[in-house]
Structure 1
Amino acid sequence: MFPRLSLPLMTLLVAFFTPAMALAHSDMGGTGFSAGFSHPVLGLDHLLAMLSVGMLSAQMGGRALLSVPLTFVVVMLVGGVMGMMGIPLFSIELGISLSVLVLGVAIAFGRRLPTVLVMVGVSFFAVFHGYAHGQEMPSIAQPVLYALGFAAGTGVIHLVGVFMVQLFKQLKQGRALVRYCGAGIAGVGIYLLSGL
């Protein structure tokens, strides 16, 4: 399974990184694509949540491999629009920190969860992540390029999570290693919650 998946995954990673590199010098002060791309990559809370979505979808397999990350990205963009428009949303940092904890626990649990349930859960958390991206967007940013940037950055992190799980599954204790990673992510989630 891994050899067949690794080439498409690597191709997608290159496809996501290429626009970021091509546009890196055209953002006029870092307010477009590259600024949006770097936002989910550079924040630990966002990074771990996005990584968890990819890992959880790969752990579940089947149609969850595509539907769970895609659901997250689409709903995150909706949350981003809400943030840009200033639509009120409660407890943004709490929602983001909870996403790290809950997604980490789901990975550590290691049981096959219903795909629809996971899609609903990641949708809930995606609103908070998207809202934070949209709210923190510089006022002079190019909104469409910025949104494409944070969607692409999120997609790349999801792919890294999928790739990690596929790689770990090739190891003798790989499934346990994935679960340990989930427990570690959940631990960071607890730490983030304790700082609120």
Structure 2
Amino acid sequence: MPLRAFILFVGCLALFGAAGLPALAHEGSGYGGGFIAGFTHPILGWDHVAAMVAVGLWGAVLGAPSIWILPVVFPLVMALGAVAGILGIPVPAVETGIALSAVVLGLMVVFAARPPIWIAAVIVGAFAIFHGYAHGTELPATVNAFAYAIGFVISTGLLHLIGIAFGLLVSRPGGRIAVRAAGGVISLAGVAFLTGLA
């Protein structure tokens, strides 16, 4: 229990700390400017937050080894998507893919879907491409691309940790309902993103 509380505390602290820095997100061309821009980008977009927390939740629902594999697959593939965005390689329906990621991943949590791990990894990786592509195409021209990428990968990892920490409640009395309800909220948020209501 102390480890879970610590993970949640560190994740929340990082999010609150970064949320106070949005004015710096597109400033400067050095390591700090690029890192801060990359770090704040995922946490300032609720569509990104929803999907990334859902990855951690679903991993926790699936248990080991998915609890660590899914949150590793997502940022790795997301980085590849970012490279595609930076290079200008066309990827269709990016915003739709991002919104659908929240819908689908939220539903995976709601129904406690348990596909083979490779299928879960493919689902997570497919959606990570859209998220990474959005990060890559929105890279401010004045920032260090490497520092930006490190920032958004770390931020994504923290969002996954928040999902994992909450998802660990699944083994507690009443926790399964709370985790599935969180998946439902994420899925509904995805529908709102998809329909333009959010």
TM-score tier, shorter chain, comes to 0.7 to 0.9
1:131 match:
133
2:188 match:
187
The correspondence of residues 41-60 of structure 1 with structure 2, limited to 5 A, is: 41-60=43-62
2:28 match:
28
TM-score by length of 2: 0.86
The one-letter amino acid paired with 1:187 is L
The one-letter amino acid paired with 1:177 is A
The one-letter amino acid paired with 1:174 is G
Q: Distance in 2 between matches of 1:42 and 1:132?
A: 13
Q: Distance in 2 between matches of 1:13 and 1:108?
A: 23
Picking from 113, 116, 119, the partner of 1:114 is: 116
Quote how far apart the aligned CAs of 1:116 are.
1.0
Q: Distance in 1 between matches of 2:161 and 2:88?
A: 30
Q: Distance in 2 between matches of 1:176 and 1:51?
A: 17
Q: Is residue 72–residue 122 contact of structure 1 (8 Å, CA) maintained in 2?
A: yes
Q: C-alpha deviations, 1:29-50, integer Å up to 9, x for none?
A: 7741011000100101000000
| Identical-residue share of aligned pairs (%) | 40
The one-letter amino acid paired with 1:146 is Y
Quote how far apart the aligned CAs of 1:10 are.
6.0
2:161 match:
159
The one-letter amino acid paired with 1:114 is P
The one-letter amino acid paired with 1:50 is M
Aligned residues: 191
Q: Distance in 2 between matches of 1:6 and 1:113?
A: 29
Q: Is residue 43–residue 155 contact of structure 2 (8 Å, CA) maintained in 1?
A: yes
The one-letter amino acid paired with 2:194 is L
Q: Distance in 2 between matches of 1:59 and 1:36?
A: 29
Could you tell which deviates more after superposition, 99-108 or 179-188?
Answer: 179-188
Cα pair distance change 1:129/1:67, threshold 3 Å: same
Aligned Cα RMSD in Å? 2.8
The one-letter amino acid paired with 1:40 is P
The runs of 5 or more residues in structure 1 that have no matched partner are: none
Task: Report the secondary structure of 1:88's partner residue.
Answer: coil
The runs of 5 or more residues in structure 2 that have no matched partner are: none
1:173 match:
174
Q: Distance in 2 between matches of 1:92 and 1:43?
A: 14
1:87 match:
89
Quote how far apart the aligned CAs of 1:65 are.
1.0
Q: C-alpha deviations, 1:37-89, integer Å up to 9, x for none?
A: 00100101000000000111011111101111100010000000110111111
TM-score by length of 1: 0.86
